[in-house]
Structure 1
Amino acid sequence: MNNWESVYHKWNTFQNLDPELKKELVSIESNQLALEDAFYKELTFGTGGMRGVLGVGTNRMNIYTVRKAVYGLASYLLKNSVNVKDRGVAIAYDSRYKSREFAIETAKTLGAFGIRAYVFHSIRPTPLLSFAVRYLGTAGGVMITASHNPPEYNGFKVYNEDGGQMIPEEANQIIQEIQDIDNELDIPIIEQPELEEKKLLVWVGDGVDNAYLEKLSLITKLSHDECKQPKDLKIVFTPLHGTASELVPAGLKQLNFDQVSVVEEQMVPDPEFSTVSSPNPEEHQAFTMAIGLGKKVNADILLGTDPDADRLGVAVKTKSGDYTVLTGNQLGALLIDYILSHTNPVLLANDRVIKTIVTSELGKAIAESYGVKTIDTLTGFKYIAAKIRQFDTTGEAFVFGYEESYGYLISSFTRDKDAIQVAVMASEMADYWKKQGMTLLDALESLYKKHGYYRETMSSLTLKGKAGAEKISQIMHTIRDNPLTDIAGLKVEMLEDYLVGKRYINASSTIEKIDLPAENVLKFTLANDSWVCLRPSGTEPKIKCYFGTCGVNESESEATLNQLKDYMNNVMHQII
């Protein structure tokens, strides 16, 4: 009997298996491939938590894999934090299938340890969970969400007491606790009525929302009088069936943006995300209904948040009356310029912008023009949050953090990417430029003319299942063992291998240490201000390849990008 078959047998013979999961298990009992995929491994718990397809098995999101993760979290907190039982853990959840159920399962498992759970009474955004951890002073936090993944997914994100996602050092200790669990089916729980009776389950109302909105009102660059004035900016907003339907309109109202139209069909929470093919504002199809409404009301900008409201997409009306969706890099650059240009120059010396290694260099160029230093981190907002925490001891001041995948943070009262903050600030910025007779596209063009025509793109190769994971590993091993010396005719000037923490500078044969956590990432810096970065996704069965360049004009940059993309796609397909 293979190992996965013995695990399957354990589940199949478990007398008290959840009836819904038992029914699914029976339905696939004659499908050898489906059974193997469900049981051949345990759902990976990474640095931010875990994410996977809903269903029966150790490689799926279900009440038993959730309990196992919570057991590991509780064990870790009790060993590494103080007063954990009374401080408790904050728990929020989005509109996905099983989200509320998994939130309550989290509380039931924590309760068996005597740890109080503060659970929101209805769906809430991820950034609000991050804020709640800090506001309530809990020992940690859990967000039940799969962000913008397809409807069949859900996930479990873990936060430390600072409100940031767990960094590797913390997550590795939780993983160790999880690995010590013999049987996920036997993890003790306390049922909800007893939890409530013992005050181990506390339902969270609107108080946290109100405290968050008060903090949100303070991030504006407008004067008190300007805040009170009605704004001549027409906005269309869609939460894409997710959690931002209340807080984004409320945040805009605080600054007197009174011309806000919402996509009514998408204001309704819907785990199927039935009006879009993907609830991801990075993909332009997600704006289809917003664009239709935008044309109807003649909106200046369109705002779209993903289901858990940690990512924001912005579309801008063009001169022809159509709408162009900004990339994450473009919106980030515009925000850096707006924020720094409206900050007291005396304060800029200690200000810091934080971005990831796969984010555009345009933001760095803009920050440098204001005398502000930019710090690079690995991909993942947990690293940006960790850097902000370090600033508490270094005297540096956080002013903006972002990543290319539509994640941004303006004020550190939350410690995860925050689409609500950015929706309000992007509207404020668009209103500012409108008063100058310009759109955000006009402002972006002026930045390109000043700093260079930076362009970026990303391609991904989806390889599902056990065989897919092996192919992704094969690609990384092959390229690491046989480093590319040129890519699409551009010479490789530097290779950074983040797994071994070394930077190889070809011109001088110098090897430098990379002072960042180990991660399976390769980044090639090329001639002509171009670069390529290769990394397996931590949350999806994909290998991602990022590209960046800077040319004297748009066409030159686009041509170079296409050449780099075609070259790397060919390399990866040849390997597999």
Structure 2
Amino acid sequence: MKNSPYAGKLATSAMLVDVPKLIADYYAGIPDLAVPAQRVMFGTSGHRGSSLERSFNEWHILAISQAVCDYRAWQGINGPLFLGLDTHALSIPASASALEVLAANGVDVMLAHNDEFTPTPAISLAILTYNRGRRSGLADGVVITPSHNPPDAGGFKYNPPNGGAADTQVTAWIEARANALITSGLNGVKRMPHEQAMRASTTHRYDYLNAYVDELDQVIDMTAIRAESIRMAVDPLGGAGVHYWGRIAERYRLDLTVLNTQVDPTFRFMSVDWDGKIRMDPSSPFAMQSLLSRFEHDHSYDIAFACDTDHDRHGIVTKSAGLLPTNHYLAVAIDYLFQHRPLWSSEMSIGKTVVSSEIINRVGSKLDRRVLEVPAGFKWFAEGLHDGILGFCGEESAGATFSRIDGTVWTSDKDGITAALLSAEITARTGMDPGEIYAKLASELGAPVGGRIDAVATPVQKKKLSNISAQQLQCGELAGEQIQHIFTNAPGNNAAIGGVKVVTANGWFAARPSGTEDIYKIYAESFRDEEHLQRILLDAQAIVDLALNA
């Protein structure tokens, strides 16, 4: 798709969200469930929407919060609920609405000290820390965040006692209950005034920031980074970890410069993404333009990184390769960790999503480690991380987490902070930046080139694609190569991928319907060259279109 002429440039005043209107519409808008986009819908990481489109309003949050309370009662979850929020404008009113319901239901809620913004990994860590060794009275959590999405977006994510994003069975229950409550005009929603909820005996404070920062040396070799005097720069992109980085530098005596400490719900300091929208995506070279330009002209740093708004995603900037593509860094991180964590079990596996690069599989083979390939969504990794089966998990959209140095679980949700700091540890202990290490891996294992295209599809065709079978694909070859495998269920856990993946010796494609637009997405990769990639993409669209129109 064609890039906007504004891509990579600072946002103009005309692009900035009208925050007062956004908040007013949050309270005034009432969703119409006859409009599918206005229903409560949990995607791969919670319910997301905008008050401007009546897809994220107070009614949604009141209903979802009550549904969470009902789910907790049904499941016997009666420990504290850790509640966090990011820096999006809608997060503060949504957090207030959620507390009013949680308090009225008698839930012990843990709010951040000093009303600090809360990264997603800090919530996951808090849940796991509280639940360690417990069999009853377990804690869970809620993160109010739409992740890296534009400034007009809001989001609500529920994390059960395993600390990760809730799986589809849990979210389907909460989604159905929330929509029923909205249909009833919120009849059945318990609620108390916000001031009363803040004073309730069940409302507590929790120091997420120091609880998280003080344990980081159990995950990252801070001594190596400090000993080699690695010079780091970070841009929090105006996100929830904005005050964490200074504390990390102070606590571990690191040469770490925080380049941007601004928090502004319009995110006016961002360069806009490929489509002309403001999006706090650390994997996008357009959104990362400010940091890339700074790093290119200021040679005082060895490595730089950024995280998205709730700090569950990372972007790594190296001297050798600039902004390192997500899949490249995942491969490097895996290769490094499984060779530099001697206390990790020899049975620990690698988790990846079906649309992540095949080079991860090749790194896994090199390391003699099993690769568990699952559908899109980090929720599929939560149990494996929690139980110590998975040592590292990553997805193509720049989310990753990994075990502590001793092999026990750190977080079971994505952690952009540790993924970023790992790049400094890698540089310190190998003498090479991650870009240089990836170049060596690509020379040894093959250098994949990847791409994605969007194709038009009707709602009926999208539904057909999400339920497609291997037998419906009438093909034996892809881009001149014999097809080896056709997957409609992920090989790692046999869960439906909501589409199809086709694999040959030197390439693959995966096709999935969009959850928000009348299109389907084709991801592809070639271990030959760009020409071969384009042939795969063309053949893929022809194969899928034939099946959808049959």
Structure showing the higher helix proportion among its residues: 1
1:331 offset after TM fit, Å?
Answer: 0.3
Q: Is 540-549 or 67-76 further displaced after alignment?
A: 540-549
1:262 equivalent among 258, 262, 266: 258
Task: Say whether the 8 Å CA contact 1:81–1:139 is kept in structure 2.
Answer: no
> Which residue of structure 1 lines up, in the alignment, with residue 508 of structure 2?
531
Q: Which aligned pairs between 1:57-206 and structure 2 lie closer than 5 A?
A: 57=54, 60-82=55-77, 84=78, 87-120=79-112, 121-137=115-131, 139-181=139-181, 182-186=183-187, 187-204=189-206
After superposition, the C-alpha distances for 1:415-438 in whole angstroms (9 at most, x for unaligned) are: 1110011111111112334x3xx4
1:380 offset after TM fit, Å?
Answer: 1.0
Distance 2:494 2:178 in 1: 25
1:361 offset after TM fit, Å?
Answer: 2.4
1:23 offset after TM fit, Å?
Answer: 6.0
1:284 offset after TM fit, Å?
Answer: 0.4
Secondary structure of the structure 2 residue equivalent to 1:270? coil
Q: Is 169-178 or 97-106 further displaced after alignment?
A: 169-178
Secondary structure of the structure 1 residue equivalent to 2:508? strand
1:406 offset after TM fit, Å?
Answer: 0.6
1:185 offset after TM fit, Å?
Answer: 3.7
AA in 1 matched with 2:163: G
Distance 1:407 1:334 in 2: 14
Distance 2:472 2:71 in 1: 40
> Which residue of structure 2 lines up, in the alignment, with residue 335 of structure 1?
333
Gaps of 5+ in 2: 1-22, 132-137, 273-278, 404-408
1:518 equivalent among 493, 496, 514: 496
> Which residue of structure 1 lines up, in the alignment, with residue 485 of structure 2?
494
Closer/same/farther in 2, CA of residues 39 and 371 from structure 1, 3 Å limit: closer
Distance 2:516 2:230 in 1: 37
Is 1:294 the counterpart of 2:292 in the alignment? no
Distance 1:213 1:460 in 2: 41
Closer/same/farther in 2, CA of residues 262 and 339 from structure 1, 3 Å limit: same
Task: Say whether the 8 Å CA contact 2:245–2:258 is kept in structure 1.
Answer: no
AA in 1 matched with 2:215: K
Over the aligned positions, Cα root-mean-square deviation in angstroms equals 3.1
After superposition, the C-alpha distances for 1:121-174 in whole angstroms (9 at most, x for unaligned) are: 121111111112223445321111111112221111110012111112322332
1:471 offset after TM fit, Å?
Answer: 5.6
Secondary structure of the structure 2 residue equivalent to 1:430? helix
Distance 1:253 1:22 in 2: 41
Distance 1:570 1:270 in 2: 45
Secondary structure of the structure 2 residue equivalent to 1:560? helix
> Which residue of structure 1 lines up, in the alignment, with residue 526 of structure 2?
549
How many residues are aligned here?
502
> Which residue of structure 1 lines up, in the alignment, with residue 371 of structure 2?
374
Task: Say whether the 8 Å CA contact 2:165–2:413 is kept in structure 1.
Answer: yes
Q: Which aligned pairs between 1:558-573 and structure 2 lie closer than 5 A?
A: 558-569=530-541
Distance 1:174 1:36 in 2: 16
Is 1:452 the counterpart of 2:446 in the alignment? yes
1:36 offset after TM fit, Å?
Answer: 9.3
Task: Say whether the 8 Å CA contact 1:248–1:423 is kept in structure 2.
Answer: no
Closer/same/farther in 2, CA of residues 254 and 69 from structure 1, 3 Å limit: same
Closer/same/farther in 2, CA of residues 570 and 184 from structure 1, 3 Å limit: farther
> Which residue of structure 2 lines up, in the alignment, with residue 442 of structure 1?
436
Secondary structure of the structure 1 residue equivalent to 2:148? coil
Task: Say whether the 8 Å CA contact 1:48–1:167 is kept in structure 2.
Answer: no
TM-score by length of 1: 0.79
After superposition, the C-alpha distances for 1:240-294 in whole angstroms (9 at most, x for unaligned) are: 1111222234335555431x33333xx2122222222121112101221112221
Q: Which aligned pairs between 1:340-359 and structure 2 lie closer than 5 A?
A: 340-344=338-342, 347-359=344-356
1:375 offset after TM fit, Å?
Answer: 1.6
1:532 offset after TM fit, Å?
Answer: 0.9
1:469 offset after TM fit, Å?
Answer: 4.6
Q: Is 44-53 or 98-107 further displaced after alignment?
A: 44-53
Closer/same/farther in 2, CA of residues 484 and 300 from structure 1, 3 Å limit: farther
AA in 2 matched with 1:336: I
Closer/same/farther in 2, CA of residues 549 and 202 from structure 1, 3 Å limit: same
Closer/same/farther in 2, CA of residues 108 and 261 from structure 1, 3 Å limit: same
Task: Say whether the 8 Å CA contact 1:408–1:417 is kept in structure 2.
Answer: yes
1:369 offset after TM fit, Å?
Answer: 2.2
1:480 offset after TM fit, Å?
Answer: 6.8
Task: Say whether the 8 Å CA contact 2:468–2:488 is kept in structure 1.
Answer: no
1:119 offset after TM fit, Å?
Answer: 2.2
Task: Say whether the 8 Å CA contact 1:217–1:251 is kept in structure 2.
Answer: no
Closer/same/farther in 2, CA of residues 163 and 20 from structure 1, 3 Å limit: same
Secondary structure of the structure 2 residue equivalent to 1:91? strand
1:529 offset after TM fit, Å?
Answer: 2.9
> Which residue of structure 1 lines up, in the alignment, with residue 7 of structure 2?
none
Task: Say whether the 8 Å CA contact 1:458–1:547 is kept in structure 2.
Answer: yes
TM-score by length of 2: 0.82
Task: Say whether the 8 Å CA contact 1:47–1:166 is kept in structure 2.
Answer: no
Distance 2:385 2:307 in 1: 24
Task: Say whether the 8 Å CA contact 2:62–2:98 is kept in structure 1.
Answer: yes
Gaps of 5+ in 1: 1-17, 26-33, 504-513, 551-555
AA in 2 matched with 1:487: L
AA in 1 matched with 2:377: G
After superposition, the C-alpha distances for 1:274-330 in whole angstroms (9 at most, x for unaligned) are: 222121112101221112221332133220111111000112123xxxx62111110
After superposition, the C-alpha distances for 1:365-384 in whole angstroms (9 at most, x for unaligned) are: 22332332222222111111
1:538 offset after TM fit, Å?
Answer: 5.1
2:40 equivalent among 39, 43, 51: 43
Identity of aligned residues (%): 21
Closer/same/farther in 2, CA of residues 462 and 196 from structure 1, 3 Å limit: farther
Task: Say whether the 8 Å CA contact 1:348–1:372 is kept in structure 2.
Answer: no
Q: Which aligned pairs between 1:244-255 and structure 2 lie closer than 5 A?
A: 244-255=241-252
Closer/same/farther in 2, CA of residues 378 and 123 from structure 1, 3 Å limit: same
AA in 2 matched with 1:240: L
Task: Say whether the 8 Å CA contact 1:348–1:371 is kept in structure 2.
Answer: no
Distance 1:306 1:359 in 2: 19
Task: Say whether the 8 Å CA contact 1:158–1:165 is kept in structure 2.
Answer: yes
Distance 1:353 1:476 in 2: 26
